[in-house]
Structure 1
């Protein structure tokens, strides 16, 4: 297995459709393949799928969604950029009310808050970026 000696990054434009979710998951699998990392592959795939699905569902289709993946010795970061400047739902942990068990939606941001090392959002020149990080490996 390889350990990243420096930062690596991938950037890809995704369609503003539900087809973007499996494409994003495949990119995460590819980015983490062969790298010795504690950024749990399943968690990274799940959280990326949540970010992309939220961007598709909650923003207008004015253009592609952009996925940015950064891998470094310090950890793993994923950002999803869209053209809507409005912030996503609340990403702060003090709002961790249990989701309504009868609703189909409403668990994505809770998963991101709970399973990531850090998460947040920021405005960009074209809209916003929503991100999460996972820690670097602890090699014993």
Structure 2
């Protein structure tokens, strides 16, 4: 075929930004966006881990912020991996995201392990203030393409 290619994979970086409703319905939408974004990379970050951690961040934003202001999801694809941010209107930092809790979460409780998962499974994570509240983020490295036996 002569001429320019109709589609090229992102070589440097690409990003997606979407406003999500302040409801539980935001979680599957966020997971789908992350899955779609990571499919754009030839050797992307682990999609299952990215979806899980994104779901945790979005669920936390919905559960722990008051009001009905939208939540914003930002997915950045970089040559070295990806960064996912969830913006919410509450300026209070998430509890124990960047420093471990003194106690292990109660294994019989439904809640309390989301931030632990984010710390354990991400390359790095954190939060920062924004003009309208805060952004909570995590980074995942690029995973080399696995060869399959012949």
Taking structure 1 as the reference length, the TM-score comes to: 0.92
Looking at structure 2, the residues matched to 21 and 13 of structure 1 have their Cα atoms a distance apart, in angstroms, of 12
Give the structure 2 partner of residue 13 of structure 1: 19
Q: Which has the larger radius of gyration?
A: 2
**Aligned residue pairs, count:** 139
Give the structure 1 partner of residue 90 of structure 2: 84
The answer on whether the counterparts of 1:117 and 1:133 sit within 8 Å (CA) in structure 2 is: yes
Flag as ranges the 4+ runs of structure 1 deviating above 4 A: none
For 1:4-30, what per-residue CA distance to the aligned partner results, in whole angstroms no more than 9, with x for missing partners?
311100000000000000000000111
Task: Give the one of 116, 128, 137 matched to 2:134.
Answer: 128
Give the structure 2 partner of residue 44 of structure 1: 50
Aligned pairs for 1:41-120 within 5 A: 41-95=47-101, 97-120=103-126
For 1:28-69, what per-residue CA distance to the aligned partner results, in whole angstroms no more than 9, with x for missing partners?
111011422351110000000000000000001241000000
RMSD between aligned residues:
1.7
Taking structure 2 as the reference length, the TM-score comes to: 0.86
Looking at structure 1, the residues matched to 40 and 95 of structure 2 have their Cα atoms a distance apart, in angstroms, of 34
Task: Give the one of 22, 26, 30 matched to 2:32.
Answer: 26
3-state DSSP class of the match of 1:36?
A: coil
3-state DSSP class of the match of 1:95?
A: coil
